[in-house]
Structure 1
Amino acid sequence: MNIILAFFILAAAGFGGSGAQESPLTTQLQASWNSAVIQSMHQNQGKGQGQNGIKPNTTEIDPQVDAPKVKGIYVTAYSAGGSRMTQLIDLMDTTELNAMVIDIKDDEGYITYKTDNPKLQKLGKSQPFIKDIHQLMKRLEKHDIYPIARVVVFKDTILAKKNPELSFRKGDGTVWTNGGGDSFVNPYSKEVWDYNIEIAKEAAKLGFKEIQFDYVRFPEGFEKRADALKYVKTEQSRVDVVSDFVQYAREELAPLGIRVSVDIFGYAASVPAAEGIGQDFVKISNNVDIISPMVYPSHYTTGWFGAEVPDKAPYQTIKGSMEDTHKKLKELGDNKPIIRPWIQDFTASWLGKGNYIKYGKKQIEEQIRALKDTGVDEYLLWNASNRYTEGVKYK
């Protein structure tokens, strides 16, 4: 499929970090991604780097070689600290599922438990949805649940408002917000890097085995406003800054025995790098233990992987996305990370009549079968309300 046409087609689907999968796409984001693709085709390769501008991976040893093959679910901090957790643990106990991805720093930027860390208190803000984080960790250990801490990185309204100098500011000095009222902080800022890594290190001390970083990117459409906003920057490209953050995080966390994973748009495996927001699928993958492409069938539109309506073709869509993922990562050779996709356990009714189907047991099992048929045996289930389908065979 012509790559520019593909982006116009894909624009009908919703994009975001994994915490925003069920939102319609804005016109602004459509223009942003089409522009990003065009720019990427003319981008020069990085200087002083390896093949295709990829820097050498300095952390090649998996810090957790005895980790299980993860089959997990997303859990909001509200669920983790509330009554729904009992149901979710029962799901773990009675199925092949064995892991939870729990919000530790959420989509607004709140630290979701009470922290006494002065570094975190200075820059961030706690909203203790999880009233007793230590009790939660004991509970997860008791039920042999592999704990993954989700940390939303550069989308951070709390940090931006509290520390405007770490964000993107308009001409009048006020903090810039996107169409949804969200603010981002500056990926060029080492202080922002260290703040998020400090959160990750505290999560490690609490007992989390893996840190999953989300929103590891600049705001959507950033290339159209980069010169108008006020922020500190260097001569580095946005792609290099983002991949350097991931590499730095991994180097900081590996000595603690902590794995690093990153969420990334699923279609990123099928298209050139998005220079506008600073995401390059291969460069990011080169610096993580696990890469988690968000390959929800509902997020692809007519023509992708030969499917007229991808949401109605979960097996075909997932299979095609995984084949592209394997091709994209082939150049990394032995440095290829574990592929652990996010798959769909929700119904995308916002797509409108004829463009979606109700997702249930069959559709989830078809996605899992597609993963298995393409050599992928780890995955994560996404449902924003944490209401997961009953009776699924998680093979």
Structure 2
Amino acid sequence: MSRFIKGCVVGGLLCVLLTGGWFWIWRSSAQEDGTTSVSQLMLSEQVSVSEKPVKSIEERIVGAQEKSSKIKAVYMTAPIANDQGPGAARLRQQLIQLAETTEINGIVIDVKEVCGPEFNPVHLKKLIAELREKNIWAIARIVVFKDASQTAAHPEWYLTRSNRNTAGDECARKRYLRVSGTSDPEQINFWQDKKGGYWLDPASTDVRAYIASHAKTIIDLGFDELQFDYIRFPSDGDVAQAIYPAWDGKTPKYTVMRDFSSFLSDALKTHKPEIILSADLFGYTALRAGDVGIGQRLDDIGNAFDYISFMVYPSHYYSGFVVPMDHARGLPALHYTVAQARTHPDAVVERSLYSAQDFLDSRIGTSTLATSTTRRVRLRPWLEDFFHEEDRLAHRPFGAQKVRMQIEGAERATPHGWILWNSANLYTADALKKE
């Protein structure tokens, strides 16, 4: 038996030597006669990959503008985007499946809400990779000046008041988002809005740097677009009692917002020239050219962003909806009560967008990016996909009919898409076209 084993070993060695010698001869002859060896093929493949042409900055910008031009998206909350539990995973996959089977081709994901930044970079990168693989546009929603997370770390950034605030804490259940610091927030008379929210001073250079730094972090996660909300001064509560650490009270609020928007756009476009930037504005802002008291003016915001997303929710026009006759389009003047606005959701959306676009066309030209490529602000509205029992009881449009009417109104006014809002991550699939 031992001789047999020795014979096998010797025979195996001879086979290896013969095979190796044959391969060496073949490799040498291949190099001599000009044919390609296996190693050469592998090297050639590596070289071809490394020689893949790199797009110029202008090409990347144009490509991003084209991809973003017709986005139809839904909104996803931060917990659903980041939580790895079965419930969140199920809702997350439902939204992705909605994008795979209907006209939806984008998802807006919360990364910073009124209580502060809320995201897990590992989980979020994984989600973004999945969205990119499925050709779904990824938008990060960032709440700007309403932010409770820095009250202990940087109380000097916040609006305060002379006496104690009796409002509750809107973010009491999310105290884990607050950054620790040496200050005790309980000993500071912070100004709070009606909901108990905390506000940063928009004029503070440190606050602006904080917002820009956070946004750059989000860009580096791989998002296609950043969408900024609450780019404004507070609108409710005893605003007259607010003490600002940086704003002098004399500089117009719209000037402060214009300067901030310009600073933010320049900083982020320098960081990544092709990143798409959008801003959320109140629906009323679409109907009024001037500042409504919170620093938001169309011409200021429009010059700094690629898209404006008006929240043209028909149920939110609490003072009614009024627009003049549109002679150019042959459309009548509208004087809707609150109930009438909810009865005609398509007209509310359409006429709001026409009003805003006409103003922008007359006031805003083009803005220079970090390169010679120019851009012009586009409109992509927020639409409501949430249920109102009173609409059903009053025989007004509700459910799929209401959502579809808004979509049709938006598409008559702008070719650049729309976004559906539902804070529970549940959408009316029957209102969407199947694809």
Question: By the TM > 0.5 criterion, same fold?
Answer: yes
Cα distance in structure 2, aligned partners of 1:307 and 1:230: 38
The 10-residue stretch of structure 1 (373-382 or 202-211) with the greater mean CA deviation from structure 2: 373-382
Change (3 A) 1:161 1:275: farther
Q: Residue 78 of structure 2 contacts residue 118 of structure 2 at CA under 8 Å; is this kept in 1?
A: no
User: Structure 1 runs of 4+ off > 3 angstroms?
Assistant: 221-224, 301-308, 348-354
Quote how far apart the aligned CAs of 1:348 are. 3.3
Identical columns (%)? 31
Cα distance in structure 2, aligned partners of 1:369 and 1:134: 34
RMSD: 2.4
2:240 to 221, 225, 230: 225
Quote how far apart the aligned CAs of 1:376 are. 3.4
Q: Residue 292 of structure 1 contacts residue 340 of structure 1 at CA under 8 Å; is this kept in 2?
A: yes
Query: Could you say which structure has the greater relative contact order, defined with CA pairs below 8 angstroms and 6 or more residues apart?
Result: 1
Is 2:336 the partner of 1:307? yes
1:330 to 361, 370, 390: 361
Cα distance in structure 2, aligned partners of 1:286 and 1:222: 30
SS for the counterpart of 1:160 is coil
Quote how far apart the aligned CAs of 1:232 are. 1.8
Q: Residue 221 of structure 1 contacts residue 277 of structure 1 at CA under 8 Å; is this kept in 2?
A: no
Identify the residue that residue 171 of structure 1 maps to in structure 2. 162
Change (3 A) 1:112 1:247: same
1:268 to 263, 270, 285: 285
Quote how far apart the aligned CAs of 1:107 are. 2.1
Give the partner amino acid of 2:399: G
Quote how far apart the aligned CAs of 1:89 are. 0.5
Cα distance in structure 2, aligned partners of 1:351 and 1:179: 27
Matches within 5 A, 1:124-273: 132-171=123-162, 173-221=188-236, 224-225=239-240, 229-234=243-248, 236-255=251-270, 256=272, 257-273=274-290
Change (3 A) 1:303 1:186: closer
Cα distance in structure 2, aligned partners of 1:333 and 1:171: 41
Quote how far apart the aligned CAs of 1:275 are. 5.3
Structure 2 residue runs without a partner (length 5+): 1-60, 83-87, 164-187, 323-333, 367-375
Structure 1 residue runs without a partner (length 5+): 1-60, 115-130
1:379 to 395, 404, 418: 418
TM-score by length of structure 2 reads 0.68
Change (3 A) 1:333 1:166: closer
Identify the residue that residue 288 of structure 1 maps to in structure 2. 305
Identify the residue that residue 402 of structure 2 maps to in structure 1. 363
SS for the counterpart of 2:119 is strand
Matches within 5 A, 1:85-96: 85-96=92-103
Q: Residue 223 of structure 1 contacts residue 277 of structure 1 at CA under 8 Å; is this kept in 2?
A: no
Listed one character per residue, the Cα deviations across residues 337-376 of structure 1 (whole Å, up to 9, x for unaligned) are 110000111123478964x846322221211111222233
Change (3 A) 1:107 1:331: same
Change (3 A) 1:303 1:95: closer
Identify the residue that residue 341 of structure 1 maps to in structure 2. 381
TM-score by length of structure 1 reads 0.74
